[in-house]
Amino acid sequence: MRPLSMAIIALSCVCAPQAQANDLSGRLGVGFNNQFSGLSSISARWNLESSNDTAIALEGNVGFSMMAGSDDAIFAGGRALYGLAKEDNMTLWVGAGIGFLSEATQTAFRFQPVMSAEFFLYGLENLGFLLEWGVNFDLSSETQIHTVSGTPSIGAHYYF
């Protein structure tokens, strides 16, 4: 390796910026989420003003499907989330949600405990990507309990 290349590498290591966790307090994120319901839903997440060590968010989701030849479906719900761990460019959330689901002839109220990892790629500090896991408790004439899926569901929010 050339001496100039080694000097540039050494200088970039010494002058590297310090990584910081994203401070989302007081910010609104708008995007989509396909975890709370079986439908892809428009999602809005409001991060409440809080200290640097805690994170609390409220989220609303609305989704619908109206296709010819298939059953119409609609979902509306909300969740409260607590930031269990804040890392550099990632927050691990736990929370609970409640919503209303209507598919074909069945309607249900949904309760859902959830765990979520929201991460931000370097250079995209305003775009959060979500991986989420949870259990759905559907209360209707036929009460059902099921996990969301074998793999985590996805979502994304752009924060203003």
Every domain of the chain and the residues it spans: 27-159
pLDDT score, position 104: 76
Pairing of strands 153-159, 28-33: antiparallel
**CA-closest candidate to residue 75, choices 43, 27, 29:** 43
Quote the pTM value. Answer: 0.78
What does the alpha-carbon distance between residue 38 and residue 11 come to, in Å, rounded to a whole number? 50
pLDDT at 40: 80
pLDDT for position 124: 87
CATH number of 27-159: 2.40.160.20
CA-based end-to-end distance of the chain: 44
User: From first to last of its 160 residues, what are the pLDDT tens digits of the chain?
Assistant: 555 555 555 545 555 444 455 677 889 999 998 877 777 889 999 999 877 678 899 999 999 887 766 678 889 999 999 999 888 889 999 999 999 988 877 889 999 999 999 999 988 889 999 988 888 898 988 888 877 655 667 889 999 9
Q: Can you spell out the DSSP letters for 126-160?
A: TEEEEEEEEEEEEESSS-EEEES-SS-EEEEEEE-
CA 50 to CA 26: how far, in whole Å?
8
Query: What gap in Å lies between CA 111 and CA 18, rounded to an integer?
Result: 40
